[in-house]
Structure formats: structure tokens, C-alpha cells
């Protein structure tokens, strides 16, 4: 059932174009090109009353939430906070009937996320569940549900569940913006076109993974690996770092590149691998500056940039290009090489990729 792949993780990475296609199927009205969520029972009145959104999740789903925060704020201008479920449930978050709480969980069974859902409902907040599992506790208990349609994810390390959650957030952001009449037809069209191009763009990227395999082998004996980025790239850096430590057991950290000087730079030594994401146009020059800072301390830098951004060549030791898309959508493309790098690093180290030590696929206890 691994379909010729050595591990479920690799199979699931390669399933992403298909899974994303499924996530978006039926979500666009063919005539108007508007985003359609027939399963949501929201009225314009209800949506207009929300003055705050919380996104609550654990692990990789939390990282998808960070992208969701960016997308929803950008598209709807409603303030969004993202919280780790085990933190959210033990404090007194300020939520009421005018708050939308979005809980995100591949399995739909994560104990802390489920508790956050129940607590939010108790104080009258509307809860939307984003999950991959039909009939899961979260799917049953949330007021509304978006199913990510990724198909079964077997590997403990989450890949296609993450990208389908991220896509669900883009669609949701556009949908709420439509309801609030805050998105121009022109921008919506750009966004929809951009989204529709993603599956084939990922496929394109997956045709050239040899270089990444070679790179993975070159970092396998490192003591520590750093992931840097700004904005959406920082959120993707967090996910890349989690993936690497989860299956290769190499220590890694993700940093907002602008924070380097505030402590982390002290950890960079001769030869320390740094994966620097530089896909965001608005902060591209700033990222190049940060790359210079780590290079000056001896770091070996792999730059992840958008095709056509040739300048980065002069700054890094190697480059991984992703196809061009809207700035907002880059996470769907830039996370894939990071998944591949962690896979091949773990493979080179002979680790148990689909079942990393100490971890379970579904965390149903606190």
C-alpha cells in the first residue's frame, strides 16, 4: 500500500498535488469564480459580528494556523491570534459570542485541541473545525467543519495534512472576505488562479529532488541546523525545523531572521547549516542582509527563493528555487523541499522514518 515508495512519508509528500486538488474541488463557483463553502451555515450578519478570531492547534497544525493567521488578517482585516492548544486551554483567553475559534487537527482527536473546542463553546464562541477525519470528535462537535480531504495520512510526520490545512485557510480567508465584501474581483481572480496552479507547480518541484537528497546527506552529521525566514517564511521555517528534528533527531531551530542579533547568532559556527527562506518580495533585501550576517560567521547557507530571484546566488552556497506564485501562497511550495530534505536526512541516518521514536500519530492524552 506504499505504492512503490519506501516509506509512507515519501508517498504522502508525492500525494500533495492530488490531495490539494481534492481540497479545492467544489470550492469554486464556476460562473462567478467565487469561493464556495456550502457546508458552512454562516450568515453575513454572523460573520460581520466577529471582531476576533483564534486559531488553536498543536504541532504541525499550529504551524498551518500561523499561515492561516496571515492569510485571514490580510484578506479580512479581522485580528487573528494563533495559540498552542495546551496553552490556550489553561489560561483565560478573552472569547465570547463575537469570537470565531478555529480548531485545526488532522486526526480530529488531539486531546488539547478538543478541550479548547469544548471550552470555547461553553463561553458561547462559534467553533469551526478544520480536520481531515470524517466522524472524528472534532468533526462531530464543532459548530461547522471544513474537511481537508487529504486522504489517510499514515506517517507520523505530517506533510499532506499540513498543505491541505494551509490551502483550507486560504479558501476560508477568501470566503470570509467575500462575505464582508472586502475582496476585489480582480484580486480574487488572481488568488483563485494562483491556487489552481499550485498542484502542478508542486509536481514540477517534485521532479527535481536529487539535489535536495544530496544536500540532505551533506547535513546529516551536523550538530544543529537553523531555519531562517521573515513573515510567512518564518512560519514555514518552523514547520521545516519540526519536520527535521521529528524524524532525523538532529537538533534544529527556526528563527525570525530579524531576531538573529538578539541571541541566536551566537550559535552560528564555521560550517553550521542554515536554510534561509527568501520568498517574500517585501522583505527580500532584508533577508539577504540576514544571510550575510550568518555567512560572515561561517554558516553554510542553502537559500530557498522564487524562480527568477537570481541575486541570491551571490549570497548563498546553494539555492533551491520554487516556482513563482503570489507572495501569500508561497508556503504551499516552499515547505515541500523542506519535507524532502528532512526525509532524505533521516533516510541517510537510517532512522525509522514513518514511526519516529517517542511519538504517536494521534495524541489523545494530554
Q: Which residues are at the interface with ligand M6R (CB under 6 A)?
A: 58-61, 105-107, 110, 113, 156-158, 242, 246, 362-363
Judged by CB, which is closer to ligand M6R: 61, or 294? 61
CA distances from 211 to 10, 31, 319, 351 (A): 16, 42, 10, 21
- In 144-265, at which residue ranges do the beta strands (DSSP E only) sit? 144-147, 224-229, 251-256
Q: Residue 105: helix, strand or coil by DSSP?
A: strand
Does the active-site annotation cover 361? yes
At its nearest, how many Å lie between ligand M6R and the CB of residue 213?
Answer: 20
Residue identified by cell 550568518 is 294
Judged by CB, which is closer to ligand M6R: 83, or 194? 83
Contacts of residue 289, Cβ cutoff 8 Å, sequence gap at least 6:
none
Q: Measured in whole angstroms, how far is the alpha carbon of residue 43 from the centre of its chain?
A: 28
- Closest by alpha carbon to 316, among 348, 283, 346, 278? 278
Residue nearest ligand M6R, CB atom distance? 59
Contacts of residue 217, Cβ cutoff 8 Å, sequence gap at least 6:
344, 345, 348
At its nearest, how many Å lie between ligand M6R and the CB of residue 58?
Answer: 4
CA distances from 137 to 107, 113, 366 (A): 9, 10, 15
At its nearest, how many Å lie between ligand M6R and the CB of residue 342?
Answer: 10
Judged by CB, which is closer to ligand M6R: 105, or 252? 105
Catalytic residue selected from 46, 52, 351, 361 = 361
At its nearest, how many Å lie between ligand M6R and the CB of residue 85?
Answer: 8
At its nearest, how many Å lie between ligand M6R and the CB of residue 279?
Answer: 22
Judged by CB, which is closer to ligand M6R: 9, or 183? 9
Q: How far, in Å, CA of 122 to CA of 129, rounded? A: 16
Number of other CB atoms surrounding residue 185 within 10 Å: 10
Q: Do 50 and 79 form a contact (C-beta atoms < 8 A)?
A: no
At its nearest, how many Å lie between ligand M6R and the CB of residue 360?
Answer: 8
Judged by CB, which is closer to ligand M6R: 177, or 347? 347
Judged by CB, which is closer to ligand M6R: 61, or 237? 61
At its nearest, how many Å lie between ligand M6R and the CB of residue 144?
Answer: 18
SS (H, E, C) 248-280: HCCEEEEEEHHHHHHCHHHHCCCCCEEEEEECC
Judged by CB, which is closer to ligand M6R: 190, or 362? 362
- Closest by alpha carbon to 85, among 108, 115, 109? 115
CA distances from 156 to 19, 107, 229, 255 (A): 17, 11, 25, 24
Q: Residues of 3-18 as b/e, b for ≥16 C-beta within 10 angstroms?
A: eeeebbbbbbbbbbbe
Q: Which residues are catalytic?
A: 361
Amino acid at each position: 500500500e506504499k505504492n512503490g515508495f519506501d516509506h509512507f512519508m515519501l508517498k504522502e509528500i508525492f500525494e500533495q498535488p492530488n490531495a490539494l486538488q481534492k481540497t479545492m474541488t467544489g470550492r469554486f463557483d464556476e460562473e462567478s469564480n467565487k469561493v464556495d463553502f456550502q457546508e458552512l451555515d454562516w450568515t453575513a450578519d454572523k460573520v460581520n459580528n466577529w471582531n476576533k478570531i483564534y486559531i488553536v492547534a498543536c504541532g504541525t497544525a499550529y504551524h498551518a494556523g500561523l499561515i492561516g493567521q496571515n492569510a485571514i488578517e490580510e484578506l479580512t482585516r479581522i485580528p487573528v491570534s494563533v495559540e498552542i492548544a495546551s496553552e490556550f486551554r489553561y489560561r483565560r483567553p478573552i472569547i465570547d459570542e463575537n469570537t470565531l475559534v478555529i480548531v485545526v487537527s488532522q486526526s480530529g482527536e488531539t486531546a488539547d485541541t478538543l478541550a479548547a473546542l469544548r471550552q470555547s463553546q461553553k463561553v458561547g464562541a462559534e467553533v469551526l473545525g478544520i480536520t481531515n477525519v470524517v466522524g472524528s470528535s472534532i468533526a462531530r462537535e464543532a459548530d461547522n467543519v471544513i474537511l481537508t480531504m487529504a486522504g489517510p495520512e499514515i506517517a507520523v510526520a505530517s506533510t499532506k495534512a499540513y498543505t491541505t490545512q494551509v490551502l483550507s485557510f486560504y479558501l476560508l480567508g477568501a470566503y470570509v472576505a467575500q462575505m464582508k465584501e472586502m475582496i476585489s474581483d480582480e484580486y480574487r481572480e488572481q488568488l483563485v488562479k494562483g491556487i489552481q496552479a499550485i498542484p502542478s507547480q508542486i509536481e514540477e518541484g517534485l521532479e527535481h529532488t536529487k539535489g535536495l537528497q544530496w544536500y540532505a546527506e551533506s547535513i546529516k552529521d551536523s550538530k544543529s541546523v537553523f531555519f531562517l525566514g521573515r513573515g510567512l517564511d518564518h512560519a514555514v521555517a518552523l514547520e521545516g525545523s519540526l519536520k527535521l528534528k521529528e524524524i532525523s533527531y538532529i537538533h534544529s531551530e527556526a528563527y525570525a531572521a530579524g531576531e538573529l542579533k538578539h541571541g541566536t547568532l551566537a550559535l552560528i559556527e564555521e560550517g553550521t547549516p542554515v536554510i534561509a527562506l527568501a520568498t517574500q518580495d517585501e522583505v527580500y533585501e532584508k533577508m539577504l542582509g540576514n544571510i550575510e550576517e550568518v555567512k560572515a560567521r561561517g554558516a553554510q547557507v542553502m537559500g530557498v527563493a522564487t524562480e527568477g530571484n537570481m541575486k541570491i546566488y551571490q549570497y548563498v552556497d546553494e539555492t533551491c528555487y520554487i516556482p513563482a506564485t503570489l507572495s501569500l501562497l508561497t508556503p504551499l511550495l516552499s515547505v515541500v523541499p523542506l519535507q524532502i530534505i528532512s526525509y532524505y536526512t533521516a533516510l541517510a541516518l537510517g532512522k525509522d522514518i514513518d514511526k519516529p521514536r517517542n511519538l504517536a500519530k494521534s495524541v489523545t492524552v494530554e
